[in-house]
Amino acid sequence: MVQEKQIIECVPNFSEGRNKDVIKQITDEVEQVKGVKLLDIDPGEATNRTVVTFVGEPQVVMEAAFRCVRKAAQLIDMRQHHGAHPRMGATDVCPLIPVSGITLEECAHLARQLAERIANELNIPCYCYEASAFTPERKNLAVCREGEYEGLAKRMSTIGEKPDYGAREWDEQMARTGCTAVGARDFLIATNFNLNTTSTRRANAIAFDVREKGRPKREGGSPVGKPMKNENGDIIMIPGTLKDTKAIGWFIDEYGIAQVSMNITNINTTPLHIAFDEVCRCAQNRGIRVTGTEIVGLIPKRTLTEAGAYFLKKQNRSTGIPEEDIIKIAIKSMGLDDLKPFNPREKVIEYLLEDAEKKQKLIDLTVKEFADETSRESPAPGGGTISAYMGALGAALGTMVANLSSHKAGWDARWEEFSNWANKGQAIQSELMVLVDEDTEAFNRIMSAFGLPKESAEEKTARSMAIQEATLFATEVPLHTMQASYKVFELCQAMAEEGNPNSVSDAGVGVLAARAAVLGAGLNVKINASGLKDKQKAEQLVSEANILINKANEAEKEIMKIVEAKL
């Protein structure tokens, strides 16, 4: 199984919204960190504050965050700062947000590491808030920022109010930089649901139906009744149906329609597709239709893949289809293109990051280009890459049979059984497609290692170590290909035995492709293992390869008997 890449978002808020040169110097720090994608810069004149958004893998985002906090401390003097927004430092807040492959708890741990580094290396005191807070009270940013910048001097000497990292007496440097709140929070999605009405009042009614806060309880149950209060004098609220949501209704002149505008503050509790369905239900109860959805800003990919799978399951359709197809279902189901075209490559964070880092990959070539590239007088791509691709094609064939079986007339009751097999097949295929490029990368590492200087004794030692490390990697990659390709047999056997009988030959071809992939990758394990100085390790890897070769030969014989009997 290919591990999902860890991606986090960082949204630091800097106490400068008017001086464009200062803002640019800060954001330049972000763009200088390789692997980080700067997504947005949002300066505010009245607030004298700029919100910056960037994403990437955890360690590079942490580095970019540290660098821009450092630059802000050099350029912003809090003694001169005035603005409409609450603030307590040159970098006021710096939250880390999970996007993919990482949990909120892991982000909270990273936030504490970042806060500690800022305090130790920059001498800027830091409070930890939201998920990274050390006490329940400090989960609330307002508690950490109480008294704002002007109250910091007193707080530094007050027990219970000192920062989590870098606590000390008020001094000249702190007077200049202030303090920073570093935290971790869930991803927030801002979305608007389009209605076939111009009535703001009705849009508000739907918003009150669904938002967590709900609506005031009124005397007589009338919309115009007096709000009821409890013994403490607080208005009694009737909760809405969706947790972790805030919503209002409004009319948009540009579109000539009313919308339910919603912020989803925890997409694990209330995913976008659940919010969409519930708004549809409540709208229908009031004689109104939701015609589509508008997403404001960027979203994690799983928002769309989870939605697509959800709507496919409602149709009793297989979810084991390509990611692109699942996302298309999500777009059409929620009407994301109702008001204007919706391009996932411009709205999904992972795709933006992927496109920013894009280098030519073999898997992005056409079939003809891939064959032509293989035929050229260069040793890579070679047999290892082709083996991985054959394994991927075997998985694709098994998956195809599963999807055909899931949708076969008269087999409606078995759709989920075959959908599960199709999902397994998609996972195997994805794993092997990564290995297509990884095998070529492994060869390139060996060539790079051989190209290292070898003049001095130190250089010779370093070169020799690099060659051995690269050779080990180039041996382990095809072994991984063998292991992944072997999984195809289980899929194709199930499809040969239980799948659509009209496609049994396709399952058979999948088996043949899988065997070729295992045996082909095995040849690469053996030839690369011969270059290892650690002979014990080499023997271990070759032994593992031989076991898989024998198992693949046996599996192919058994499954092909099943296939031949059904032809």
Whichever domain contains 62, its CATH number is 3.30.990.10
Q: pLDDT tier at 84 (50, 70, 90 boundaries)?
A: confident
Q: Is residue 438 part of a domain?
A: yes
- The first and second tokens of residue 52, run together, are 């910056």
Query: Which of 338, 355, 372 marks a domain boundary?
Result: 355
11-26 confidence digits (pLDDT tens): 999 999 999 999 999 9
CATH number at residue 485: 1.20.120.680
Q: Is residue 114 part of a domain?
A: yes
| Confidence (pLDDT) at 230 | 87
| Confidence (pLDDT) at 225 | 84
My answer on whether 175 and 210 are in the same domain is no
My answer on whether 345 and 389 are in the same domain is no
Q: Which residue has the tokens 């928002």?
A: 303
My answer on whether 25 and 144 are in the same domain is yes
Other beta carbons within 10 Å of 133 = 23
The helix (run of H) or strand (run of E) holding residue 415 is helix 415-450
Q: Is residue 1 part of a domain?
A: no
- Residue (of 480, 472, 382) closest to 435 by Cα position: 480
My answer on whether 374 and 348 are in the same domain is no
- Angle (CA) 390-395-396 rounded to 5° is 95
Q: Is residue 19 part of a domain?
A: yes
| Confidence (pLDDT) at 343 | 95
- pLDDT, mean of residues 330-359: 90
My answer on whether 35 and 154 are in the same domain is yes
First to last CA, the chain: 33
- Beta carbons of 362 and 436 less than 8 angstroms apart: yes
Based on its alpha-carbon atoms, the radius of gyration of the chain, rounded to whole angstroms, reads 29
| Confidence (pLDDT) at 219 | 81
Pairing of strands 180-184, 91-100: parallel
- The first and second tokens of residue 442, run together, are 């492994």
pTM of the model: 0.83
Q: pLDDT tier at 85 (50, 70, 90 boundaries)?
A: confident
Q: Is residue 390 part of a domain?
A: yes
- pLDDT, mean of residues 142-169: 91
389-400 confidence digits (pLDDT tens): 999 999 999 999
Q: Is residue 464 part of a domain?
A: yes
Domain range for 546 is 359-566
The average confidence (pLDDT) of the chain is: 94
Strand partners of residue 200 = none
| Confidence (pLDDT) at 2 | 56
My answer on whether 134 and 107 are in the same domain is yes
| Confidence (pLDDT) at 191 | 94
Helix %, strand %, coil % of the chain (to 5) = 55, 15, 30
- Beta carbons of 8 and 96 less than 8 angstroms apart: yes
My answer on whether 176 and 95 are in the same domain is yes
My answer on whether 148 and 35 are in the same domain is yes
Q: pLDDT tier at 297 (50, 70, 90 boundaries)?
A: confident
Q: Is residue 424 part of a domain?
A: yes
My answer on whether 299 and 363 are in the same domain is no
Query: Which of 355, 386, 415 marks a domain boundary?
Result: 355
My answer on whether 172 and 203 are in the same domain is no
My answer on whether 266 and 212 are in the same domain is yes
Q: pLDDT tier at 336 (50, 70, 90 boundaries)?
A: very high
My answer on whether 158 and 87 are in the same domain is yes
Which residues are the active-site residues? Answer: 85, 439
CA–CA distance, 495 with 514 (Å, rounded to integer): 14
- pLDDT, mean of residues 1-7: 75
> What is the domain count for the chain?
3
| Confidence (pLDDT) at 3 | 67
| Confidence (pLDDT) at 223 | 80
Higher pLDDT, 408 or 355: 408
Other beta carbons within 10 Å of 450 = 12
Q: Is residue 2 part of a domain?
A: no
**Burial grade of 520 (CB within 10 A; 0-12, 13-18, 19 or more):** buried
CA–CA distance, 436 with 390 (Å, rounded to integer): 9
